[in-house]
Chain A
């Protein structure tokens, strides 16, 4: 395990984070934005377990954090999908460029 320094993990997770960020800024479809958000959440997960494993192996906090994050991410994805579907019904489009006003 220790043949890979911690820093490599962190670089990987940072790269994944910023890939997700790029996707979030660039994509026009709301569902693809949601996918980018999932990537971001996963990069955070990697971070947590890496720190847990390398710096505090005696406790399991990072692992549990990741578990909870996965659960919450699932709930959040479900709610987001529900909203997207609702929006699709009223506007017939899920292009994020069109959803820039509070008025209907």
Chain B
């Protein structure tokens, strides 16, 4: 068995050990154990990446997929079986690096952040479970294995969001996350079934091969059969995308992400910023050849949903006052970027720029978004509140966090030479060459991004006097909390310089991406304008922002209320589904189904009561029945013998 299996097994072992014995025996050692296992996984991932990208990954100038582990788990027929395995190709290696690295940073950060927590070992066992599940998802060789680990990731997320289970809001949030993503997974499962039915296999390589070869009978069958005017292939791909949209918090399945901020902040950094929420993007990227070559209509759906979610989230983020919620909507917006970058991409060569840009943005976003959340965690730890109004003037008290936050904001705003600039610029280039409308919406969204991020930055660190009361408190944070922030800050600055196109492209052939400065002037200008607006409104303590908000009136209020999407969902479920469907079903179950069983029971009771009379214990009754029975038998015999 290839040593690559250790990447998955080590976190799983940590989960089992911490989960079973952590509470009683390991206590604080659980953190060390988990961190060590993730560190080991990270080291193995780095060596794998080095080996794949630089030594033996390329065959004839093109990166091809390798299958170091492939195990047939369940066989239905000789042609159809479920495998479990490890797939090594450019995006899975990239994801291995991202997941293990960010997980390692979060593990180290939690050593300081969660110290003193009573359920410390449980927390680390859940983190290990999540790491295991996410790693299993990214290296899946077939779509069913993806689904298995998809659900596992959902469970880990549920456990971690609801970690503070004594808080009702946390419990509600974890339930909401699980239910919304589960609902989306219904679509995912339907998509899996459709795609595997027509292609005859669950393996990614088979699905891609059979659906992209225009002469294959599988493709013909999938295109020709249609339901409600849409071909089966389109249905399958769109349904799979719906599953991805649930996990990636695309509109309208985004409602769980802001509420998921009830979990501990390191959890938000790991799951809801860097890794789990990009699972949907990863899924589309996995099946990208099928989307791009055989079903451009589905790809267009992806693009539209992505750009709409992106703009939607950016607008709402401008009004939110909870630091973590701003970051949550920011995540949704950036993932929208990744989604529509895939949506505007073609396959192969220059046309595949969008794909490469999307994956690059995934990489850089993981780094600076995790950094933003960890800094937010430090700030929250310092002022013991999530609200912006409780912060302000923290520049002197939290110097390292201040610099790190600034670097991350510059990265996310797309200011050169930080990492975000390179990835965003390539996304905008791809959009420009494909669909102008999407391009303009994306550019405006990018401007809004820098506005609300710097609004957050200035509100925390500048506006108002120094926060003196908190100064007597503990310092900025322990070294275990600051070290990951520093490392990630370096990453945010330098990651943009990686020549990503050489490694990850839609068809495996290296792509040379060059920066077109003329083109980039517009986005840079808009981002800078956003920063200037933020300085104007938020750097000094004033009420200019409130004046502007009241001018916008109802628009501002509805944005602040997240455009009432939650209320709509609640209306649909409570009034319509519960009353019209659930209540009658419950009535039916209680009265008719239960009633039927109760009637059977009652009938048996009545029957037994009637027949128990025969067991009266009275001799005369017995003998009377004896005589009667004998006479009856006698008559029957006489009839039979024809004597009567």
Give chain A's interface residues, CB within 8 Å of chain B.
21, 24-26, 33, 96-97, 99-102
Contact = CB atoms under 8 A, between A and B. Distances in A.
Contact of A100 (B618, B623, B624, B627): B618
B617 A96 contact: no
Interface string B593-625: 000000000000000000000001111100110
A30 to B, nearest CB: 9
Contact of A25 (B616, B617, B624): B624
Given A21-B627, A25-B623, A25-B624, A101 B617 contact: yes
Chain B at the A interface: SS class: helix
18 contacts: A21-B627, A24-B620, A24-B623, A25-B620, A25-B623, A25-B624, A26-B620, A33-B620, A96-B618, A96-B619, A96-B620, A97-B618, A99-B619, A100-B616, A100-B617, A100-B618, A101-B617, A102-B617
B383 to A, nearest CB: 81
A23 to B, nearest CB: 10
Nearest to B620: A25
A24 B620 CA distance: 7
A97 B618 CA distance: 7
Given A21-B627, A25-B620, 16 more contacts: A24-B620, A24-B623, A25-B623, A25-B624, A26-B620, A33-B620, A96-B618, A96-B619, A96-B620, A97-B618, A99-B619, A100-B616, A100-B617, A100-B618, A101-B617, A102-B617
A96 B623 CA distance: 13
Contacts of A96: 618-620
Contacts of B616: 100
Nearest to B617: A100
B580 to A, nearest CB: 59
Contacts of B620: 24-26, 33, 96
Question: How big is chain B's contact interface, by range?
Answer: under 10
Interface string B613-644: 00011111001100100000000000000000
A17 to B, nearest CB: 11
Contacts of B624: 25
A34 B623 CA distance: 14
Contacts of A26: 620
A99 B624 CA distance: 17
Contacts of A99: 619
A101 B618 CA distance: 8
Interface of B: 616-620, 623-624, 627
Contacts of A33: 620
Contacts of A97: 618
A50 to B, nearest CB: 21
Nearest to B615: A100
A100 B613 CA distance: 12
A101 B617 CA distance: 6
A23 B624 CA distance: 11
The 7 closest A-B pairs by CB, nearest first: A100-B617, A100-B618, A25-B624, A25-B620, A101-B617, A100-B616, A96-B619
Nearest to B627: A21
Contacts of A21: 627
A33 B617 CA distance: 16
Nearest to B616: A100
Nearest to A26: B620
Nearest to B619: A96
Contacts of B618: 96-97, 100
Residue of B617, B618, B620, B624 with highest tally of chain A CB at under 10 A: B620
Contacts of B623: 24-25
Contacts of A100: 616-618
A91 to B, nearest CB: 14
A3 B83 CA distance: 103
Nearest to A100: B617
A42 B312 CA distance: 109
B628 to A, nearest CB: 10
A86 B602 CA distance: 43
Nearest to B624: A25
From B619, B623, B627, residue with most partner A Cβ within 10 Å: B619
Contacts of A24: 620, 623
Nearest to B621: A25
B498 to A, nearest CB: 94
A37 to B, nearest CB: 11
A68 to B, nearest CB: 24
A90 B605 CA distance: 36
A79 B141 CA distance: 91
Nearest to A28: B620
B558 to A, nearest CB: 82
A33 B619 CA distance: 11
A101 B616 CA distance: 9
A100 B624 CA distance: 15
A96 B619 CA distance: 8
A102 B619 CA distance: 12
A5 B19 CA distance: 101
A96 B617 CA distance: 10
A88 to B, nearest CB: 17
Contacts of A25: 620, 623-624
A26 B621 CA distance: 10
A32 B135 CA distance: 94
A100 B612 CA distance: 14
A96 B618 CA distance: 8
A22 B309 CA distance: 95
Contacts of A101: 617
Nearest to A97: B618
A25 B616 CA distance: 15
A66 B620 CA distance: 27
A41 B624 CA distance: 17
Contacts of B627: 21
B463 to A, nearest CB: 92
A96 B620 CA distance: 8
A103 B624 CA distance: 23
Nearest to A21: B627
Q: Which of A21, A25, A99 has the most CB of B within 10 A?
A: A25
A102 B623 CA distance: 17
